[in-house]
Amino acid sequence: MTFLSLLPTDISTSFLSVVVLFLAYRYVNAYRVKAKLDGIPTVGHNGIFSSYITAWQLLKDGRDVIEEGCRKYPNRAFKVPTMQGYHIVVNGPKLVDELRRANEDDLSIMAAMTDTLKAIYTISPTVNENPYHVDVIRTPLTRNIGARFHEVQDEIRAAFKDNIPNAEDDWVEISVVKPIRNIVVRASNRLFVGLPLCRDPDYCDLNISFTISVVVNATVISLFPKFLHPIVGRIFTVGKSSLRRALKHLRPVIEERIRMDREHGKDSYPDGNRPNDYISWLIDTSEQMGEDWQRGSVEDLALRVLAVNFAAVHTTSMAFTHALYHLAANPQLAQPLRDELEAVTGKEGWSKVAMVQLKLMDSFLKESQRHIGAGAIGVVRITQKDFRFSDGTIVPAGLRVGIPTYQVHHQKDVYTSPESFIPTRFFDLRAQEGESVKHQFVTPTPDWVVFGSGKHACPGRFFAVNEIKAMIAYVLLNYDVKFRDDAPGFPPSLFWGGNVAPNQSAKVMFRKRKVL
């Protein structure tokens, strides 16, 4: 007995008709796109249906698929089948630079981000249409890192004590992925919403689960054809439920802040101290959106708190986890990093200024990201109209174009022994005359694109780098870390699609330092 035999005849016929129409639509659409892209070579299978074999391979291990393309087609564009159609990858310094410099009207990063995250379904259509919170991150948040640094550092201390077992006399082995997320969400929200909310277990769990759900649900939605996204998006989204949960915590805070602003003025709070946090900066910026009907609404502001948590928790947790794995795999690095840390903080104290002067730590963290922390495809744009590269390659409108990030970070003519982890790599480069700024962790270059590129570089990178440095500093001064003696070394990362994630099951051994 088959599934169709269980259905009434009319429904069975309708079902088959829908399937046939869907397959016909897919075939015709794929044929049209494929015809426009015949001049661009393909990695893997190129048939309308056989291409899904390569799409599945890309989903399982994107790094190997993209590496094959770079090897076969040096200094030119190639296409890779995905579940949603072809993804164009431009290979070689000249084409990569052309993509980096393209105007938003030609190659759009905002369209690419919306498509990657399926943001209108997984986050909010209003946040996606008017992302003014990005301006908050770029300006007031970044300007206040120094003023609020001591509070973030205080939260890091408290969060480590709550999440890493007390190992006074012997080694304790723990899986670190979940504790690191807990630490990052608390440290970040000390700046975003302050005490006591940043320590509320339900609020922290909300932001962690929201972050994971956005990534997972966006991936699931992308497996379906675009015309089904509105339907599938309603099923695989937690936006509304997350907002309801967020409002339970944020509504009282936001409403009280707005009330105090109206009654006393922003500069005349009874105690003289209007909270200097992300919520205040959001309110200030939203007031400049006079034409926006959402201006100042509690729901809109709460959604933007969720949005900034997605940006902060997801990427910072992964970067810090990779760095901790590199430290545990190379415990001999701890002492020179400690020596620098103690010398700098002894002179500058625990401050943002001190973090900037930690050049060896900066090099260690940047090398960690260069070595393994970037996915297979990055700096992704979507063509807004047919786009011609200088070599004559024409990419039709509506397609995703990106660069082979992992290969960019492993170019043999740029990086000596690129497959090796060399923690002093960028420290040595910065020692050369005129090279001090170029090789900082926070500075994007054509050969260093983990934070994106040019004017579209990640606006939150300054806070992220300072936060990661402060967390690594706490580990260095308070713990010895290593992997088990019989461990194979750095645990393999997960490369899926164009993305990368740290190993989810690796365990790190911690022992409380005994300072003589």
- Distance, in Å, from the CA atom of 304 to the CA atom of 282, rounded to the nearest integer, reads 8
269, two tokens: 């709070």
Asked if residue 160 lies in contact with residue 362, where contact means CB atoms within 8 angstroms, the answer is no
Query: Which pLDDT score is estimated for 24?
Result: 59
pLDDT by residue (tens digit) across 269-319? 887 789 999 999 999 998 887 555 455 589 999 999 999 999 899 899 999
Give me the residues paired with residue 381 across strands: 401
In 3D space, the residue among 56, 128, 84, 137 whose CA is nearest the CA of residue 312 turns out to be 137
Among 250, 359, 384, 234, which Cα is nearest to 305's? 250
Domain ranges within the chain, ordered by starting residue = 118-374+410-512
Rounded CA-CA distance 204/206 in Å is 5
Closest CA to 80 of 58, 109, 63, 96: 58
Whole-angstrom distance, CA of residue 450 vs CA of residue 378: 8
Quick one: 111 exposed, middle or buried, by C-beta within 10 A (0-12, 13-18, 19+)?
middle
Helix axes 239-264, 201-222, angle to 10 degrees: 130
Q: Is 433 exposed, middle or buried (0-12, 13-18, 19+ CB in 10 A)?
A: exposed
Q: Burial of 193 by CB count in 10 Å (0-12 exposed, 13-18 middle, 19+ buried)?
A: buried
pLDDT digits (tens, 9 = 90+) for 466-502: 999 999 999 999 999 999 998 888 999 988 888 899 9
Q: Are 247 and 131 in contact (CB under 8 A)?
A: no
What pLDDT does 25 receive? 56
- Report DSSP letters for 144-157, one per residue: THHHHHHHHHHHHH
How far is residue 113's CA from residue 98's CA, in Å, rounded to a whole number?
A: 19
The residues near 415 (Cβ < 8 Å, ≥ 6 apart) are 370, 409, 425, 447
pLDDT for residue 336? 98
Residues in the chain with pLDDT < 50? 1-7, 11, 15, 293
Tokens 């905002």 belong to residue: 110
Rounded Cα distance, 448 and 445, in Å: 5
Radius of gyration over every alpha carbon of the chain, rounded to an integer in angstroms: 25
Phi, psi for 171 (deg, rounded to 5): -75, 140
Tell me whether residue 458 is annotated as binding: yes
pLDDT score for 266: 85
User: Looking at the DSSP assignment, which residues form a beta bridge with residue 480?
Assistant: 511
Pairing of strands 387-388, 499-501: unpaired
Place of tokens 């939150």: 460
Report the distance separating Cα 244 and Cα 247, nearest Å. Answer: 5
- Report pLDDT for 291: 52
496 near 62, Cβ under 8 Å?
yes
DSSP state of 378: E
At 3 the pLDDT is 41
CATH topology of domain 118-374+410-512: Cytochrome p450 (1.10.630)
pLDDT for 516: 58
Angle (CA) 108-111-114 rounded to 5° is: 150
What gap in Å lies between CA 343 and CA 360, rounded to an integer? 12
The neighbouring-strand residues paired with 499 are 496
